Chains A and B, each alone.
Chain A
Amino acid sequence: GENVEQHPSTLSVQEGDSAVIKCTYSDSASNYFPWYKQELGKGPQLIIDIRSNVGEKKDQRIAVTLNKTAKHFSLHITETQPEDSAVYFCAASINRGSTLGRLYFGRGTQLTVWP
Chain B
Amino acid sequence: SAVISQKPSRDICQRGTSLTIQCQVDSQVTMMFWYRQQPGQSLTLIATANQGSEATYESGFVIDKFPISRPNLTFSTLTVSNMSPEDSSIYLCSVSPDSYQPQHFGDGTRLSIL
Contact = CB atoms under 8 A, between A and B. Distances in A.
A105 B43 contact: yes
A67 to B, nearest CB: 21
Give the secondary structure class of A's interface: loop
Interface in A1-59: 34, 36, 41-46, 49
A42 B42 contact: no
A99 interface: yes
B81 interface: no
Interface in B20-41: 33, 41
A98 B99 CA distance: 8
B105 to A, nearest CB: 4
Nearest to B58: A102
B100 A46 contact: no
Contact count band on A: 10 to 19
A102 B45 contact: yes
Interface in A65-107: 89, 98-100, 102-103, 105-107
Interface of B: 1, 4, 33, 41-43, 45, 48, 92, 94, 96, 99-108
**10 closest pairs, A vs B, by CB?**
A43-B105, A99-B99, A43-B107, A98-B100, A105-B42, A107-B42, A105-B43, A44-B105, A43-B108, A43-B106
